[in-house]
Amino acid sequence: MQDVVPDALSIETAGLVKRYGEIVALDRVDLAVPRAAVGLLGPNGAGKSTLLRILLGLSRPNGGSARVLGRDAVADGRELRMRVGYMPETDTLPDNATAADFVAHMAEMSGVPRRAARQRAADVLYQVGLNEERYRLVKGFSTGMKQRVKLAQAIVHDPELVFLDEPTNGLDPLGREEMLDLIDRIHRQLGILVVLSSHILDDVERVCDYVVVLDGGQVVASQPLRVPEDDTADLHVRVDGDPGPFLKRLEELSLEARPAGIEYTSDEFVVARDGNRSLDAIRDAAAATDSPLRLLRPAKRSLEELYVDSVGAGANGARGRRRANKR
């Protein structure tokens, strides 16, 4: 995990524990998340929604502490909630209200005076692409439009940070693209910090700079998504034809090669980096075995690889701990 300056943190937790009876939903969660667009990943039941609820002060932890924007999520909950927004996963809109009325009402609930609330509602609905439709009843809206209204109410009071829980749920591919564009804009152009909870890797990869992976109630990864490439990274290699002789030659040169990962074709490999010797060995092996070298670049670890690795490893440990707790 990258080093972070304490006052640059958006979320900090220490030993956070949440139990529902015998089920441990969060198990000693320690986090130090920088001010960025943060993706909260994990399979169903990993503890994502529980963590969001605690960070919003909607749920009390059984142990540990949680701070958001430098404020204690439990003790300073009211003040904190003036500075954050929340877009829940579930369908949470009154059918018999117009989008403009409801969003203005939610602005007032955050302390914005009445006249300013109506103005803010109109502005924000325009920003999320619901200008003409804002005086229509919500019950006539498509799923995509309802998601936009939910997003609008989450940012209408101009929060510093907005929690988005599965914002692309139920959207068709086009709607999903538009929603991700909006979220990206909220962060990059409007300067609002985003915490995006999702089980869709693409969504997180698209808009987030930092990722936290939860599994079995534990943090199994917490790191920046885009690590600057350097000359110590392993090498991603592809050769045409049968790679067998090429790999054998690399082995003879004492270099380890492994398949490049689940999203690559079977003739792509990652070769362990050993300074410039690796580059020379790959060149020599390709020349000696007459294997046309089609790709040679620093290997990047995809989010999918990170997720599969960390959730796989974390799941074994977490399940063991859960059983241990039950015993």
Point out which residues bind other proteins (CB under 8 A): 20, 53, 56-60, 78-79, 81-82, 84-86, 88, 90-98, 101, 105-106, 108-114, 116, 120, 123-124, 126-127, 137, 153, 157-158, 189-191
Task: Count Cβ neighbours within 10 Å for each residue of 222-253 and write b for 16 or more, e otherwise.
Answer: beebeeeeeeebbbbbbbeeebeebbebbeeb
Q: What is the spatial distance between Cα 20 and Cα 16, in angstroms, rounded to a whole number?
A: 14
Closer residue to other proteins, CB minimum distance, 35 or 238: 35
**Cβ 145 vs Cβ 171: under 8 Å:** no
Closer residue to other proteins, CB minimum distance, 160 or 205: 160
**Cβ 28 vs Cβ 64: under 8 Å:** yes
Q: How many Cα neighbours within 13 Å face the side chain of 172?
A: 5
Which two structure tokens, joined as six digits, stand for 190?
């409007």
Closer residue to other proteins, CB minimum distance, 112 or 255: 112
The helix (H) or strand (E) run that includes residue 247 is: helix 244-252
Name 196's bridge partners: 39, 164
Q: What is the spatial distance between Cα 248 and Cα 254, in angstroms, rounded to a whole number?
A: 10
Closer residue to other proteins, CB minimum distance, 135 or 294: 135
CB of 212 to other proteins, least distance (A): 20
Sheet containing 23-34: which strands, arranged edge to edge?
A: 23-34, 9-20, 63-68, 71-72
Closer residue to other proteins, CB minimum distance, 150 or 249: 150
CB of 32 to other proteins, least distance (A): 23
**Cβ 239 vs Cβ 294: under 8 Å:** yes
Give me the torsion for CA of 19, 194, 79, 7, rounded to 10°: 90
Q: What is the spatial distance between Cα 156 and Cα 103, in angstroms, rounded to a whole number?
A: 7
**Cβ 238 vs Cβ 269: under 8 Å:** yes
Name 86's bridge partners: 163
Number of Cβ atoms within 10 Å of the Cβ of 168: 23
CB of 56 to other proteins, least distance (A): 5
**Cβ 9 vs Cβ 55: under 8 Å:** no
